[in-house]
Amino acid sequence: MGATPAVPGESRGGAPATDRPRDAPSDQVLAERPDRSDREADGRAVTGAQFRSAFTAAPVGMLLATAEPGQPNVVVATNDALAQLLGRPSSELVGMTVPDLVNPLDADDIAEVLAGVSSGATRRGVWEHRVRRVDGSIAWARLSVALAGEADGRKQLIGHLEDVTEHRRTQDEQTRHALYDGLTGLANRLLAMDQLRRVLAALREQPGRAAILYADLDRFKAVNDTYGRDVGDRVLVEVAARLRATVPHLYLVARLAGDEFLVVCHDIGSDEDLHELVERVRTVLENPVDVRSGTVSTTVFVGASIGVSVAVDPDTGTEQMLHEAGTAMREAKRLGRHRYQVFETSLGDPATRWLQVERDLRTALAEDRMVLHYQPIVDLVTGRISGVEALLRMVDPVRGLVPPGEFIDVAEESALTYPLGDWVVNEACRQLAVWQEIARSGPALTMAVNVTGRQAAEAARSGSVLTEASTAGIEAGTLFLEVTERTLLGAADDVVADLEALTRAGVRLTIDDFGTGYSSLTYLQRFPVHTLKIDQSFVAGLGVNRRDDAIVAAVVALGAALGLEVVAEGVETAEQQAALQALGCPAAQGYFLGRPMPADDLSRLLVANV
């Protein structure tokens, strides 16, 4: 046999082996002299002994096999590394066929790869496959095979098998992380929407009704506020388990985010079937949850409001169904919670919703029912409160505090954005002046105010922010306008110039949710940025996802290199705080460090902080 293989080209395929008898001795095979092309490869001969030594000592599994049509793929020689990978002695491997060495599920694929190389259709075949060890365990290997020189005029294959089990395991973990929720093990939004897309497409082949159930837990925020995030997580895990046990196994259960869950139903049947399923889900979530945290047992009551969207048209959009189900769920909450609502066209009329929210906002402004809550920003070196972020809330006479997610989109796109923005800046500056008076002995307290792109541009042009800051008497350089990367996208050059004028006058610019956009470094180059806020999605992955660790470390290093302040958002555990401190992150905010609170509550904290 030709002892050293010719250098093959790169292509995907397979290769059989030689017609050498099954009992051909491997040392005789390895002793064959190399062919002429190998001897002249670089002006020096490669002896059979040299090849035999390299073959035997190779750190990856090596084999020689027949490549003749009459008796293909028969193993004629192996090395110790291959025997170790497969858990079998070399004497047992010789005489078997190469497909015999792999998992039966992959044998046909390997045979096809080998045939392609043996016939000359491809010069080199590469394939990842499973191998079953003698102890029954499954490993993954990458087989690379090519034609070697001839032995006694017969073609042979030379192949090596590399153990890629750990690599495949890492890939599987990454796939699971991308498609499944890390806390509950349920499908995540990405997988749920893909499944819904498939369910809708199936309606083309078999008409029927697809449906989704959008469930939002009703008292979950109170659970987190009262018992802490650890108990809240345990409740979510129990809810996930109950949904799995209640929903038919052919339906997909997913966790969208927070306390929001989705059920994707591929064929819901009749209205009675739908009602029965939703009632089962609603009832099982009404049952109390017994949670043990440390040595303390707690009984928690949550329940859920459920929105339902049904589709019979395969061209129905997935996002449309999700929007409809979300709209129905919010209507269920509005009507008293612990119930479900099937989407109706009247619920989803954008104009109706828009007008109602705008009326509510106007009334709230007129009746002085807009309030600011404040979340502390903590210096991770000293442990002291170094700043606060102002967060807008609307007070509804019936519902209580309404979060900005329910009205901010209307405010941003209506004429209300300017008076509302002026009110927020005015109130934030007034409160900051009070707090700076309390903490006069230490570094000046800062205030971050979220603004929209339109508000930032208008404030820069009109100078209204400078007027408010001057009137309130706050210290220069302590008011921060906080904008997202998306807000700055496509900003005109005159806006950049106006923002630069603001910063020269002492107003700072913060980029919120840094790292989630597509042109982060472009913003740093173009705009007069002072502070970067690391998005909470990266902070949540600290110590869990190495990629998130690397991203947070990179942002901290980038801030240090450019002389920018860095604040991490969404810190919810002591472990996350410790990880940020280890990475040198100077400041952070989040529920673990302090929840958003009314001004009076934060005043008491600041007094204690002094």
What confidence tens digit (pLDDT) does each residue in 524-549 have? Answer: 777 788 999 998 888 988 988 888 89
d(CA 366, CA 556): 43
Label residue 22 by pLDDT band (50, 70, 90): very low
> Which pLDDT score, from 0 to 100, does residue 590 have?
94
The CATH number of 354-609 is 3.20.20.450
Highest mean pLDDT: which range of 194-198, 287-291, 397-401: 194-198
Highest mean pLDDT: which range of 32-36, 176-180, 477-481: 477-481
Q: DSSP of 378-422, one letter per residue? A: EETTT-SEEEEEEEEEEEETTTEEE-GGGTHHHHHHSTTHHHHHH
Place of tokens 């046999």: 1
Lowest average pLDDT, out of 282-291, 368-377, 486-495, goes to 486-495
d(CA 29, CA 152): 10
> Which pLDDT score, from 0 to 100, does residue 462 have?
67
pLDDT at 20 over 70: no
Highest mean pLDDT: which range of 217-231, 439-453, 570-584: 570-584
Q: Note every long-range contact of 55-60, with CB atoms under 8 Å and residues 24 or more positions apart, other chains counting.
A: 55/30, 55/79, 56/30, 56/80, 58/160, 60/160, 60/161, 60/162, 60/163
- In this structure, which amino acid lies at residue 375? Q
The whole model's pTM is what? 0.47
pLDDT at 119 over 90: no
The candidate with the shortest Cα–Cα distance to 567, out of 532, 517, 524, is 532
Label residue 238 by pLDDT band (50, 70, 90): very high
Please tell me the total number of residues recorded for the chain in this structure. Answer: 610
What's the alpha-carbon Rg for the chain, to the nearest Å?
A: 33
**Three-state DSSP class for 269?**
coil
Parallel/antiparallel/unpaired status of strands 446-450 and 587-588: unpaired
- In this structure, which amino acid lies at residue 306? I
Cβ proximity of 547 and 526 under 8 Å: no
Which two structure tokens, joined as six digits, stand for 574?
């002591």
Q: Angle CA(492)–CA(493)–CA(496) in degrees, nearest 5? A: 95
Q: Which residue has the higher pLDDT, 46 or 109?
A: 109
The CATH number of 180-348 is 3.30.70.270
How far is CA 218 from each of CA 234, 277, 286, 401, rounded to the nearest angstrom?
16, 19, 10, 15
Instruction: Tell me the per-residue pLDDT of 571-610, one tens digit each, with 9 for 90 and over.
Output: 999 999 999 999 999 999 999 999 999 999 999 988 887 6
Q: Which residue has the higher pLDDT, 149 or 563?
A: 563
CATH superfamily entry for domain 26-164: PAS domain (3.30.450.20)
The residue extents of the domains of the chain are 26-164, 180-348, 354-609
d(CA 244, CA 250): 11
d(CA 77, CA 63): 5
- Taken in order 221, 589, 418, 444, the sign of the CA dihedral is positive
Q: Which helix (H) or strand (E) holds 262?
A: strand 260-265
d(CA 330, CA 560): 44
d(CA 17, CA 25): 15
Q: Which helix (H) or strand (E) holds 499?
A: helix 493-504
